[in-house]
Each structure stands twice: as structure tokens, then as C-alpha cells.
Chains A and B, each alone.
Chain A
Amino acid sequence: MSREHDETDLEQLLRRNRPAPPPPPPGEYERILAAAQGKTAESPAAFFKYMPWAIAATFVIAVAATFFMDDGRPTSASRARDDRMEAFLSDTLGEVILEQPEQVATEPLNSWNTFIETRGR
């Protein structure tokens, strides 16, 4: 028997005995229509559907930002940073003052002022 003949016989056997699906459940069309209309109604309104969430998120971010600003005053974190900076500057300035040359300490202040005012003339 030729290969083509075999294939034709096989196809005929398959067609004759093709599996039949179970019947559709009652009310299938109505269920599909409701689902289709529901999905279609959702699509154009997607923008508006998520709009309240976007507004709510923006509001929460704004509130959070205000809260962390501590009524416009520096937050505790920034206050701590300022304190450290102030301590550093005070220490450095103190050291500079303590390490002033001997002449500065011995010369009267007025003569220094005169020197500064007449400098370069």
C-alpha cells in the first residue's frame, strides 16, 4: 500500500472518529455577552478608573512631605547635622584664636586698628 493511500486512510479514520466536545452549558451566550460588555466597558474608562488612585497617591505624598518638613522647621535629622557643624566650627575657631601669634597678644589693640586702617597708604 502506498504512503499516500495510508495517509488518506488514516485521515478518514481520524475524521470518522473525531472527538466531539461536550455541549455548551445553558446560558453560555448570555454569560459571554455579559463578560464581553463588562470588559469593553472597562477599557475606555481605564484612565478614569485609576484616576482616584493617582489623586490619592499624590495627596499622600504631599501630606508625607509636609509631615517630614515639621511645620517648616528643620527636622530632627537636619538639626543634629547643624549641631555637629556648629561644634566643628566653634572648635576650629577656638583653636585659631588660641594659636594667635604672640605679637597679637602683646600689641595694644588700637595700634592694630591703626595699622589695618592705614594699610597700603
Chain B
Amino acid sequence: MPMTLKDNGGGQDRFQAVYEKHAPLARAVLYNICGAEHLDDLVQETFIKIWKGLPGFKENADIKTWIYRIATNTALDWCRKNAAIKAVNPLPDLPGGEGGEANALHRDMVTKGLRRLSPEQRAVITLCVFEELTIKEAAQTLNLAEGTVKSRLHYARAEMGKFFQENGVTV
């Protein structure tokens, strides 16, 4: 069931509740699209937008989708502004998380595979695969047609699959 702002208090308390519940989600989305280098700044930028938008946010709306949208737009804006820089400096390393050596290897492959995708494809993989949103929800979040999301997801999956095959990872 989607969490709504009715669940929270008002003003700063409400903002704190939103931060505590959704900061990990926003952080993960920003990280998967932009990498670690400017992550803290991007999280801050995202939550400043949330702070500004919170008073006018419809109480019956789905806050999670709204936060996904803000985080994704913030990440994609950043990628567009920094496209020239990234052409020189590749996406910063995304260190692997917890788990064994085999998991670390796979995680490293996923990280490297993500780097081969465009920011828009990374956004679709992040929302549809990592965050498990439906095509419809992802389309609403990205403000795109469902067909566009399907198409981007298809090409992103194909690119990742190709990368795994080239590197001997059995799917």
C-alpha cells in the first residue's frame, strides 16, 4: 500500500519522517544512475526539492512515486549537465555491497554493465528492475509513454545480457 503524507505529521516533523523513510530509496536511485562521486550533493538537492514541494503535495498521492520522480529527474539533469565531464572521466567506481567473493564478482559485473548504458537506460533499469516498479509506474515516474519505457528496458536488458556474455557470466 502506498505511503501517503497523511501518515506523517506536519512541517519539519513531516519532512524528517519522509527523509527517514525514503532517503535510502532516493540514495539508491541516485547512486545507480550517477555513481558515488557526487552522491551526497545529489541527495541534498533531491531533498531540498522535496522540502519545497512538500507543502503543496496532495495528501492522497503516492509519495513514493513522487520521490522516485524527483530523484530520477535530479539524477538525469545532473547527467545531462555533466555529459562533457563524463566523456573524459568515466562513471566513478560503484563499490560492491555485502556478500561473498562470487557475489562481489557478479556485483562488479553489474556495476560495469550499468556503465555501458545511457543515463536514461540506467534510470529504467533502476526503476523497473532494482526498484521493481511496473512499466506503468516507471512511465508515470519518468513522464514517458509506456512504450518508450518498454523499449528502453528492452535495449538496456539486451546491452546488459551482451555484456555478461562477453565476460563469461552465465545468466
**B-binding residues in A (CB < 8 A):** 6-7, 9-11, 13-22, 24-25, 28-29, 31-33, 35-36, 39-40
CB-CB under 8 A from A35, the residues of chain B are 44, 48
Contact flags B17-53 to A (C-beta < 8 A → 1, else 0): 0011001000110111000100110011001100110
A20 adjacent to B130 (CB under 8 Å): no
Given contacts A19-B96, A19-B97, A24-B40, contact A32 B31 (CB under 8 A): no
Tell me which of B19, B44, B95, B160 contacts A22 (CB under 8 A): B95
Q: In the complex, A36→B15 CA distance in Å?
A: 10
Number of B residues, CB within 8 Å of A: 42
Q: In the complex, A20→B28 CA distance in Å?
A: 7
Stretch at the interface among B1-9, B57-65, B102-110, B140-148: B102-110
Given contacts A13-B171, A33-B15, A40-B52, contact A18 B130 (CB under 8 A): yes
B110 adjacent to A9 (CB under 8 Å): no
Task: Assess whether B98 is interfacial by the CB under 8 Å rule.
Answer: yes
Q: In the complex, A36→B160 CA distance in Å?
A: 38
Least CB distance from B10 to A in Å reads 15
CB-CB under 8 A from A25, the residues of chain B are 40
Task: Assess whether B75 is interfacial by the CB under 8 Å rule.
Answer: no
Task: Assess whether B125 is interfacial by the CB under 8 Å rule.
Answer: yes
CB-CB under 8 A from A11, the residues of chain B are 129, 157
A31 adjacent to B12 (CB under 8 Å): no
12 contacts between A and B (CB under 8 A): A13-B169, A15-B129, A18-B32, A18-B107, A18-B129, A21-B39, A24-B40, A29-B16, A32-B19, A33-B16, A35-B48, A39-B48
Least CB distance from A8 to B in Å reads 10
CB-CB under 8 A from B30, the residues of chain A are 21
Given contacts A6-B161, A10-B161, A32-B48, contact A17 B107 (CB under 8 A): yes
Task: Assess whether B111 is interfacial by the CB under 8 Å rule.
Answer: yes
CB-CB under 8 A from B36, the residues of chain A are 21-22
Most chain B beta carbons < 10 A, residue from A9, A20, A35, A40: A20
